[in-house]
Each structure stands twice: as C-alpha cells, then as structure tokens.
C-alpha cells in the first residue's frame, strides 16, 4: 500500500457511507452492503476487529497483514489477507474510498473475495448474502409492489413505517431496481437512477416542512414529508427528480434542518428521495434485521434459537422411516420425511421469524459446488402432538423456494396453538447441511421432533397399534339466556387435554388433539367445564367409544348433567390401525 500512497491509513476520520466506491468489478451488491454497514458502528468494529491496532502508526509493528471477520453458518470466522491490492497505473482497480489514502473498503473487499474464492466470484452476487455475511443478521428481501398490494389501506405509509422502524433498530438496508433482462443491467434512467443496481439506504425519516396545517382549534401541526436517503456505490449518478440535491423542494425546509440532513450539491452518489417516488421506481428492498437478544439492553427483546440439521437419506430408501430428504409439499408421499420442528404460540396475533441457511460445501474455493433450492413449510397441528407428523395438514404458510444460500419466512398474526415447521429442499433426495434460526418476542419453546410414535413404556410391554385424531368442533347449549365461559377437557387413556376458554351459548373451537392406543378401541370422557374465578365447575359430560375404522366421521353427542341433556357436542374423529398414519 505504501507503493500506492505515501501515508496509507485504514480509516480517515472514521467510516461513512460515501467512503465506499465501486471499481470495475460488478459487485455493487457487496459495495452497497459495505455502505450500509457504516450505519452500524458496533457491527463495523466486529467486521474490522481492533482497527486501531491494524492502523499504520509508529507504535504498531506493521507486518503487511490485515484481519477481518465475517459471519458464516452460525459463527464469526476470521479472514487474514496481505496488503497487495490489484492496481493499474498505480490506481486501485476495485473498491476504493473517496480519500485516496483510506483503504478499509479495498482491504475488506479483498478479504471478502478470499472468503468467496476469488474476486471473479464476487460478480453478480446476492444482496441478502452480503448483508448476512457482514452482520450475522436475518436478511429479508421485500418486493415493493407485492408488499403494497397486500394492504390497500395506506400500504405506502405502513411500509415506510416498517422500513423506518427497522433502520432505527440498526438494520442494514439495501434497495435495488430489478432489470428485466441483461440489456437493462446498468441502464441509466432519465431520473438518474440505474437499473439492475443496488443502493445502500443511509437514512429513513420524516422531514418537517415550513408550511403549517391547522388540525385542531388550538393546535397546529407541521406538514411532514416521508423521505429516504440512498448511496450509489458508483459515487455518482444521483436521483434528479423532486427533492434531489439543490432542487426547489428543499426551500420548504429550514436551513437548520438542511444542515442536519447534510444536504449538498456535490456529485458524491448520495441523495434524498421522497418516499412516493422511491416506491414508484425501486422494486426490491433487502432488510437485514439484527435482533436484540440481550435482556440487559433497551429496545424490543427477542428469544433466539438455533438448530443445525441436515437433509440426508441415512442410507434408507426414499420415503422410508429414516429418510430425512423428502422434498417440498409438491411431493406428498415423501414430504413428511423432512426434519420437523415444533413450537407453541400462546396468544393470538403472534409473530415469529425463521431463517434457513444451507452450508456452502467448498467454502473459499474458486470453483464452487452448486447450492440446492430450499424453503420452509409451516403447519398448524394437534395441540398435544409430541411425535413427528406423517401426513401434512392445515398448511399455514409456505416460504418462497430459493436457489440461494438462505431463505426467510416472516409469520405474522399466528393463532394460538401448536405448529410444525419443515425446512425442505425443493426436490426429494437433495442433500445438504442447514442452520435454522428462529426469533420471537415470546418464548415459543421450539424443539426438533425425532420420534415417529410412542414406544413401549418402562412398565408396559404393549406395542402402540392405533392412532386417533379428535377435533372438538364446538358446543351448543340448550339454555340460550345464560352465556358462560367454558372449555372442554378430554380424558383418554390416562391422558388429559383441554381446549381454550370461550364465552357464549354456541361456541366454536375447532381444536385438534391426537391419541395413541395399544388396542383398537378409543374411549373418551369429555367434560364441559365452566371457567370461574374460584373453583371451575363441570357442567356436563359426554362419553365416546370409537372403534378404529380407518375413516373420518363427524359426530354429535349430548352433553349430560344428572341424566339430563344440557347441550350438544360436535366432534370429528379420525382413527387408523397404523400409529404412523397421521
């Protein structure tokens, strides 16, 4: 580096988004991620460890090597490089800083190239991968138009609030304009934006305008403009529409605010855009969330769980008991052979996030083995299931299937109950190792299901031979004038389960439970219980005897109290002579 400039430095006056400029390499996906990284100084210190100790100073014994850290498959790994950088005529060919003697971005790019095998492998990569590599976060790609179509009521404002909240929580965000074909890549639009190109998001905020709008009799509120600031990794080619650098719209903003926002007329690649123009031109947002898992810090707290798994055959035939590579839901015969993870949602409206990452098989090598297409499928299952499921039921949500390293699933408004998540490859018999990460603000207690059915107990030599699924559809009470809070208790073979509490004379639960037996007869004692502040009271009971018939039946039973019916119970029962049928 001292052959390039006389006074090389790792950082010159710290790191800023417009420090990083793309070179001749087609890796705007990585350069934009680096620009976004400067938004989170704590994370930058993790990626560039001991920056002060790696600087060119008299007290440091400079030996021509640098250390950088990247997140890979659940852990941070260190990459060590020398200080030789590709140049032509004494100038850097690839990433560079706007200060000619600042080299952190060029050295970071070289370390990243070593991680990927060579500089050539950095051409045309995935935004989400770069964000994940430099943060260890969970990267979600949002299609702007798809997101806006989901909610017609102020969907633009809601998306802005979502992105602003993520940015304020230190998320790394990169925006892109998709190119429809190769010819459109790096096509410069009349508005100054570039197709097939990635831009780092460096600010998301409301801008107060000088004009005032009266909203109440004695109160006034200022008009606010939703704004987003972006950085072009080229260091040039900026937005030239409304609210661009030097445009007349900025006359509506006080000089103090302009100074705060850093408004300049320089062609440095950084510019502001109004949100309505942003969603009109940009097609995708890659948002890399960093979840706060420390209970000793401020802000929302998240539980985190990590599971390392593998899609493999275990030497078994396709679709057999030990096969763990069943493919997606399209392959119904083998789908349930995949790894399965169960968790519990304790309140309606819960939110859970999943990230599935497959392991790169020959990391750091120039020639890379292809990845497999992966995704996730979520099912709502019986509330008491503790064994693997053998027939897919109640599909809740399926992620996109992605031919890439990672896929993301964001589940919102989940209902109370038990769920099973299946990480899968697209086709059966595709093999790879994976990492499943789960984040939730509530303790959903996830665990992997490994056992197919109950085994023989310590005190019993009887083998389990049958299975039944009972769905408590609802209850209809005869007394229409007295709405009570009730729940149902099911007793079967020394096992006791219950539904949620509900209020009314006609209650619908639609809750499922599963039971196993060594014989071919299921006997259910069902109690209707009033939920009271002190000492719950049994209102009535129903007795069900079900002989296994390998069928599904919808039934209605009287609920009896002191030999008098007080209402009716509706259930659906499925019973089979194979304990691994359901």
- Give me the active site residues, please: 28, 197, 232
CA distance 110 to 468: 60
- 193, 167, 196: which is closest to 181 by C-alpha? 196
Task: Tokens 């559809």: give the residue.
Answer: 473
Nearest alpha carbon to residue 473 among 507, 526, 510: 510
Do 167 and 201 meet the contact criterion of CB atoms below 8 Å apart? yes
Distance CA 11, CA 26 (A): 24
- Determine the Cα angle at 531 with ends 525 and 532, to 5°: 135
Give 536-552 as a 3 state SS string: CEEEEEEEEEEECCCEE
Burial 233-270 (b: 16+ CB within 10 A, else e): bbbebbbebebbbeeebbeebeeeeeeebebeeeebbb
**Dmax of the chain from CA atoms?**
99
For residue 418, give Cα distances in angstroms to 196, 341, 580. 42, 11, 19
- H/E segment holding residue 569: strand 564-576
Q: How far is CA 328 from CA 137, 140, 355, 413, 424, in A?
A: 26, 21, 17, 24, 6
Q: What gap in Å lies between CA 195 and CA 95, rounded to an integer?
A: 20
How many other CB atoms are found less than 10 A from the CB of residue 328?
A: 22
The DSSP element (H or E) to which 34 belongs, if any, is: helix 28-37
Distances in Å between the alpha carbon of 235 and those of 18, 164, 245? 7, 24, 14
The string of DSSP codes covering 422-473 is EEEESSTT--EEEEEEEEESS----EEE--SS----TT--PPP-EEEEEEEE
Q: Nearest Cα to 194, choosing from 234, 228, 160?
A: 234
DSSP state of 194: B
CA distance 528 to 523: 16
> Which ranges of 138-209 would DSSP assign to H, the alpha helix?
144-150, 155-168
User: Strand 350-358 and strand 551-561: pairing?
Assistant: unpaired
Residue given tokens 């852990």 in the structure block: 75
Residue with token string 């990169």:
174
If residue 255 lies in a helix (H) or strand (E), which one and from where to where? helix 255-261
Q: Residue 182 corresponds to which tokens in the numbers above? A: 């190769």
Tokens coding 200: 């780092």
């Amino acid at each position: 580096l001292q052959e390039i400039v006389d006074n090389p430095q790792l950082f010159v006056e710290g790191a800023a988004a417009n420090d990083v400029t793309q070179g001749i390499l087609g890796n705007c996906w990585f350069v934009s991620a680096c620009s976004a990284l400067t938004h989170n100084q704590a994370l930058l210190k993790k990626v560039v460890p001991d920056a002060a100790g790696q600087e060119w100073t008299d007290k440091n014994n400079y030996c021509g090597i640098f250390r950088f850290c990247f997140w890979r498959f659940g852990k941070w790994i260190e990459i060590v490089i020398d200080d030789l950088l590709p140049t032509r005529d004494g100038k850097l060919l690839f990433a560079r800083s706007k200060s000619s003697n600042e080299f952190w971005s060029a050295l970071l790019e070289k370390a990243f190239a070593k991680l990927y095998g060579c500089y050539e492998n950095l051409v045309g990569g995935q935004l989400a991968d770069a964000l994940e590599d430099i943060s260890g976060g969970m990267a979600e790609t949002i299609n702007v138009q798809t997101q806006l179509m989901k909610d017609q009521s102020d969907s633009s404002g809601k998306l802005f609030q979502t992105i602003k909240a993520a940015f304020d929580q230190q998320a790394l965000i990169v925006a892109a304009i998709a190119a429809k074909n190769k010819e459109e890549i790096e096509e410069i639009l009349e508005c100054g934006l570039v197709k097939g190109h990635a831009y780092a998001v460096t600010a998301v905020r409301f801008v107060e305008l000088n004009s005032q709008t009266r909203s109440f009799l004695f109160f006034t509120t200022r008009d606010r403009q939703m704004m987003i600031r972006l950085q072009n990794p080229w260091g040039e080619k900026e937005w030239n529409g409304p609210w661009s650098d030097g445009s007349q719209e900025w006359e509506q903003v006080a000089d103090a605010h302009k100074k705060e926002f850093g408004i300049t007329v320089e062609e440095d690649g950084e510019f502001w855009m109004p949100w309505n123009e942003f969603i009109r031109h940009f097609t995708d947002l890659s948002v890399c969330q960093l979840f706060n898992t420390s209970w000793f810090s401020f802000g929302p707290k998240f539980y985190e769980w990590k599971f390392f798994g593998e899609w493999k055959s275990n030497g078994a035939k396709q679709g057999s008991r030990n096969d763990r590579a069943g493919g997606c839901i399209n392959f119904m015969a083998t789908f349930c052979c995949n790894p399965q993870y169960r968790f519990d949602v304790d309140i309606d409206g819960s939110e859970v996030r999943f990230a599935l990452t497959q392991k790169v098989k020959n990391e750091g090598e120039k020639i890379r083995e292809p990845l497999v297409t992966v995704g996730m499928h979520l099912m709502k299952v019986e509330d008491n299931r503790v064994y693997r499921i053998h027939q897919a039921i109640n599909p809740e949500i399926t992620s996109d299937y992605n031919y890439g390293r990672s896929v993301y699933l964001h589940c919102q408004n989940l209902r109370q109950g038990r769920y099973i998540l299946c990480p899968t490859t697209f086709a059966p018999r595709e093999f790879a190792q994976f990492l499943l990460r789960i984040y939730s603000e509530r303790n959903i207690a996830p665990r992997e299901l490994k056992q197919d059915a109950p085994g023989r107990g310590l005190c019993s030599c009887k083998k389990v031979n049958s299975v039944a699924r009972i769905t408590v559809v609802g209850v209809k009470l005869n007394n229409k004038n007295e709405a009570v809070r009730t729940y149902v208790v099911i007793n079967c073979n020394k096992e006791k389960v219950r539904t949620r509490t509900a209020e009314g004379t006609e209650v619908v639960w639609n809750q499922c439970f599963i039971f196993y037996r060594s014989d071919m007869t299921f006997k259910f004692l069902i109690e209707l219980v009033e939920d009271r502040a002190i000492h719950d009271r049994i209102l009535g009971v129903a007795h069900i005897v079900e002989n296994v018939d390998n069928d599904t039946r919808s039934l209605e039973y009287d609920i009896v109290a002191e030999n008098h019916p007080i209402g009716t119970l509706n259930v659906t029962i499925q019973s089979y002579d194979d304990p691994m049928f359901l």
